[in-house]
């Protein structure tokens, strides 16, 4: 069974940092692009970052550029999101996703999704 499991969320003060992890299992995701999306209550899902299977192509959403960094583990089945200089507006559930067709900013293209991890940033 294919699974994406996020971890690392929590409560942090504004200006702080968190590192999210997403572990993929059930198939080899080493050739899949991986992405992070977030959704705050009452808002639409928002693109955060994506990374190609090789790590050579990376895109970020405008609101996180310069603050967040996406990376992949050596085994390629794990993806990380280092979140620095967090703001209250970053508060949301963060989801990991995987797609065999390559990087993309649109959530609908992603084939597999995790259950999400809550990030709360207090002011």
pLDDT digits (tens, 9 = 90+) for 34-50: 999 999 999 999 999 99
Using one digit for the tens of pLDDT, what is the confidence trace for 73-88?
877 789 999 999 999 9
Nearest to 22 by CA among 119, 99, 110, 115: 115
Confidence (pLDDT) at 28: 79
> Mean of the per-residue pLDDT values for the chain?
94
Res. 27: pLDDT tops 90: no
Question: Helix or strand or coil: residue 57?
Answer: coil
In sequence order, which residues have a C-beta less than 8 Å from that of residue 107 and are 6 or more positions away? 35, 37, 45, 47, 97
Least confident of 33-42, 54-63, 67-76: 67-76
Nearest to 99 by CA among 40, 45, 37, 8: 37
Confidence (pLDDT) at 2: 79
Mean pLDDT of 50-60: 95
Q: In what order do the strands lie in the sheet with 18-25?
A: 3-7, 18-25, 78-83, 68-72
Nearest to 23 by CA among 90, 76, 85: 76
Question: HSE-up of 36 (CA within 13 Å, CB side)?
Answer: 34
- Taking the C-alpha atoms of residue 113 and residue 4, their distance in angstroms, rounded to an integer, is 6
């Amino acid at each position: 069974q294919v699974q994406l499991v996020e971890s690392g969320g929590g409560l942090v003060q504004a200006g702080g940092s968190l590192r999210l992890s997403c572990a993929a299992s059930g198939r080899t995701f080493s050739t899949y692009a991986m992405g992070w999306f977030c959704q705050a209550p009452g808002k639409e899902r928002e693109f955060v970052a994506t990374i190609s299977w090789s790590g050579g192509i990376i895109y970020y959403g405008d609101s996180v550029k310069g603050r967040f960094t996406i990376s992949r583990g050596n085994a390629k089945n794990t993806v990380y999101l280092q979140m620095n200089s967090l703001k209250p507006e970053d508060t949301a559930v963060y989801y990991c996703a995987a797609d065999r067709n390559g990087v993309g900013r649109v959530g609908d293209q992603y084939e597999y999704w995790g259950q999400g991890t809550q990030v709360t940033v207090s002011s």
